[in-house]
A and B are shown apart, each in its own frame.
Chain A
Amino acid sequence: QKEVEQNSGPLSVPEGAIASLNCTYSDRGSQSFFWYRQYSGKSPELIMFIYSNGDKEDGRFTAQLNKASQYVSLLIRDSQPSDSATYLCAVENQAGTALIFGKGTTLSVSS
């Protein structure tokens, strides 16, 4: 059974701080990795994807991938109260036909 593991949190950070969210996965053959944001009662919203080892930056978000360690992370700089949500790590299966989700990390940003 392919697994994606995340610390459920909650992760609490003050406004303006950096939030660091982590994810590990078990399928060494996975090639594509995604971060989704899910507000309570809403659907997952794609915010970042990364396919190559290293860092990928998009605005206040940076995704980091280390395939050797089977580790993906998301950094959120200058955290805002509106960033308070559950962040879902998703890993694509080897066939590219499905996403396997972690349970999500709940982030709370206090003003």
Chain B
Amino acid sequence: EPEVTQTPSHQVTQMGQEVILRCVPISNHLYFYWYRQILGQKVEFLVSFYNNEISEKSEIFDDQFSVERPDGSNFTLKIRSTKLEDSAMYFCASSGQGSRNEQYFGPGTRLTVT
């Protein structure tokens, strides 16, 4: 069964550094998303992406964040100048054209900012 994959599984970075989180969505899906979950809290929407542009972004997704689909398979989230409060699990999700609403999540990247 097709799956969303994410790399790395765990990223440790120092405050102020830039990180890039990578995702490979399910191959025939067209809609891509990033969510985050701070430990013990709810899953929060960050951004959605379709047809090479952002469809929607939340208040969390400020100028510190950017997304890109650099090729036909990868979808990346870049976080510039990381802060301690960026420490969280970051989940990539994708959904298909025929079943646009049903989002399937990857295993997540645990980001730890020290």
Contacts and interface: CB of A to CB of B under 8 A. Distances in A.
Interface of A: 32, 34, 36, 42-46, 49, 51, 88, 90, 92-93, 95-104
25 contacts: A42-B107, A42-B108, A43-B91, A43-B105, A43-B106, A43-B108, A44-B43, A44-B105, A46-B102, A46-B103, A46-B104, A49-B102, A51-B101, A93-B56, A97-B56, A98-B48, A99-B33, A99-B35, A99-B43, A99-B45, A99-B103, A101-B42, A101-B45, A102-B42, A103-B41
Contact of A45 (B33, B48, B55, B105): B105
B100 to A, nearest CB: 7
B107 A96 contact: no
Contacts of B28: none
A interface majority secondary structure? loop
B33 A32 contact: no
Nearest to B48: A97
A98 B101 contact: no
A92 B56 CA distance: 13
B24 to A, nearest CB: 14
* Top 9 closest pairs, chain A to chain B, by CB: A97-B56, A101-B43, A98-B45, A43-B105, A97-B55, A103-B42, A32-B101, A97-B48, A43-B108
Given A43-B105, A43-B108, A100 B45 contact: yes
B44 interface: yes
Size class of the contact patch on chain B: 20 to 34
A104 B37 CA distance: 12
Contacts of A88: 42-43
B66 interface: no
A77 B81 CA distance: 48
A98 B35 CA distance: 9
A90 B93 CA distance: 14
A98 B56 contact: yes
Contacts of B103: 34, 46, 99
A45 B107 CA distance: 10
Given A43-B107, A97-B56, A103-B42, A49 B91 contact: no
B69 to A, nearest CB: 16
